[in-house]
Amino acid sequence: MIVSKLPPTETMQRAVRERDKSFEGVFWLGVTTTKILCRPGCPARTPKPENLRFYPTVAEGLAAGFRPCKRCRPMQRVGDAPEWVRPLLAAVEEDPTRRWKDIELRAAGFEPVRVRRWFQAQHGMTFHAYLRARRLGAALGKIGAGGDLLHAGMDAGYESASGFREAFEKLFRLTPGQARDSRALVVRPLLTPLGTILAAASEDELVFLEFHDRRALETQIQHLARRMGAHYLPGDNAILQQIELELEEYFAGKRRDFDVPIAWPGSEWERSVWQQLLAIPCGETRSYAQIAQALGRPGASRAVGTANGRNRLSIIIPCHRVVRADGSLSGYGGGVWRKRALLDHEQQAAT
């Protein structure tokens, strides 16, 4: 049971105009002048707004008489890595410390320029920068756990202590010694029917889950890193894999509650509000006033709203289930349209 609510038309038009790939999977567009069905990030010439038709699924676009674009391939599953790069990704996962030179990429059948462009588009960094961040992330984890500085650098693939220190300081802006009190949080984007969501986790707990276009996202990320004494690194781990699977089950209507272990640093008041959010059953809502009343502070509706907005685990801690006293929807960091979509989805799943 996948949510099929469309974002506001102006939001979709902006996404098409900016070729925003983060909206892939949220909607597809049909171009009336060519009868072509495309993804939001299609590299073809941008159509005029009046020639666009939007659909929540590929099937609906095809049923309306549009044929798949040969450039952006809307029939291909969203989020799948193309066939040509999968062997390279598998090799990286098998040995993240390996240093790939361009000559080695070519020998393995990969064109370095193509690899660089794909990683830039998918991860916001080149292939070599991605590998470097992975190696340094592994080193940070060992240092934070009390490991020897030199051995951590050598294990990460660096041939000298000076080379390790220079690369480490450039990425993290702190010395390996200062990292003793720092934690590594692995971060990667996850694709959902409502758009890209950014997830970050330690080896033990999920610490961050927010839609990519949430208001003040960067401020939240930085505040959390300071509060936890942590740094973010691209990559993957068992916690991220678990939340990815649980989100798939949630959007398919097969899951109402989440089992992934979470970390939710906050003030005593914030945590008490978040605990109340977790108590709201799937398919139901509560008002800000009701939560304040449950906490023994009937006049604290505004304070409840503030704590609600500081939740960093979207969907998991269901701040979208809080509404105004009259049942209408108020602000939501991921957009009111997503809040409506999540509530509609949960009400359908609960029946």
Active site residues: 38, 319
CA dihedral over 148, 151, 156, 160, signed as positive or negative: positive
Q: Are 7 and 335 in contact (CB under 8 A)?
A: yes
Residue 182 to residues 137, 139, 313: CA-CA distances in angstroms? 11, 11, 21
CA distances, 118 to each of 16, 28, 89, 252 (Å) = 20, 22, 12, 29
Helix (H, G, I), strand (E, B) or coil at 189: strand
Contact 167, 132 (CB under 8 A): yes
Q: How far apart are CA 116 and CA 136, in angstroms?
A: 19
Q: Which two tokens stand for residue 141?
A: 């984890």
State how far the Cα of 2 lies from the Cα of 164, in Å rounded to an integer: 46
Q: Which of 273, 286, 295 is nearest to 320 (CA)?
A: 286
What's at 216, amino acid-wise? A
Element (H, E) at 211: strand 206-211
Residue 206 contacts by C-beta under 8 Å, 6 or more apart in sequence?
Answer: 199, 200, 239, 240, 243, 260, 261, 262, 263, 313, 316
CA nearest neighbour of 195 among 91, 338, 86, 322: 338
Return d(Cα 75, Cα 269) in angstroms, integer. Answer: 47
